[in-house]
Amino acid sequence: EPEVTQTPSHQVTQMGQEVILRCVPISNHLYFYWYRQILGQKVEFLVSFYNNEISEKSEIFDDQFSVERPDGSNFTLKIRSTKLEDSAMYFCASTAPRGVYEQYFGPGTRLTVT
Amino acid sequence: RKEVEQDPGPFNVPEGATVAFNCTYSNSASQSFFWYRQDCRKEPKLLMSVYSSGNEDGRFTAQLNRASQYISLLIRDSKLSDSATYLCVVNPPGTYKYIFGTGTRLKVLA
């Protein structure tokens, strides 16, 4: 069964450093998303992406965040200058371009900012 | 009113019991609703979409009540493996985002 994959599974970085989180969505999906989940809190929408551009972003997704689809398979989230409060699980998801747009999630990247 | 609201629980039920969760949403024009399951420190996994006519998959039944703006999830014959957090998700109309509830924690006890 096709699945969304994410790398790395855990990333530790120092405050102020840049990180890039990587995702490979399901191959025939066209809509891609990033979410974050701070420990003990709910899953929060960050950004949606379609046809090589951002469809929608939340107020969390400020100028320190960016997304890119550098090739036909990868989808990346870059955090330019990490803060302590960026420590969270980051989930990538994708949906097929038809039907009820069910989202399928990757296993997540745990980001720890020290 | 929060966009998506759930009772956080926990709901502690014995094996074999029937348990139901509700989730309320604020945007009456919302059309797409989902239930996800999340195990501790894992990704959300799609349980089922919620259709206007209701949806059943084995022991799980989802219903939509538009008049009162809530969706429900019923689990029959609970198993130990059903212990997890159940997330209600709504896609507001005209948006490309999905709003998650805080989740309802279920513990099925032997």
DSSP string, chain B: --SEEE----EEEETT--EEEEEEES-TT--EEEEEEE-TTS--EEEEEE-TT-EEETTEEEEEETTTTEEEEEE-S--GGG-EEEEEEEE-TT-S--EEP--EEEEEE-
- Chain B hits for A105, CB-CB cut-off 8 Å, are 43-45
Phi first, then psi: give them for residue B82, nearest 5 degrees: -80, -10
Cβ pair A105:B100 closer than 8 A: no
Average pLDDT value for residue range A52-61:
94
Report helix, strand or coil for A88. strand
Q: Each residue of B29-44: b (16+ CB within 10 Å) or e? A: ebebbbbbbbeeeebb
Report the residue from B41, B44, B95 with minimal CB separation from A43.
Answer: B44
- Shortest distance between the Cα of A55 and any Cα of chain B, in A, equals 6
- Chain A hits for B95, CB-CB cut-off 8 Å, are 56
If pLDDT is split at 50, 70 and 90, which confidence band does A2 have? Answer: confident
Sequence-separated (6 or more) residues with CB below 8 Å from residue A1: none
Please state, rounded to an integer, the average pLDDT across all residues of chain B.
94
If pLDDT is split at 50, 70 and 90, which confidence band does B2 have? Answer: confident
If pLDDT is split at 50, 70 and 90, which confidence band does B94 have? Answer: confident
The pLDDT value recorded for residue A98 is 67
What is the C-alpha separation between B36 and B46, in angstroms, rounded? Answer: 4
Q: What is the CA radius of gyration of chain A?
A: 13
What is the C-alpha separation between A111 and A18, in angstroms, rounded? Answer: 12
β-bridge partners, B9: none
Q: Position B49: which residue type?
A: S
A5 to chain B, any CB pair closer than 8 A? The answer is no
Q: What is the CA radius of gyration of chain B?
A: 13
The pLDDT value recorded for residue B71 is 96
What is the C-alpha separation between B86 and B73, in angstroms, rounded? Answer: 9
Query: Which of A88, A74, A57 is closest to A4 using CA atoms?
Result: A74
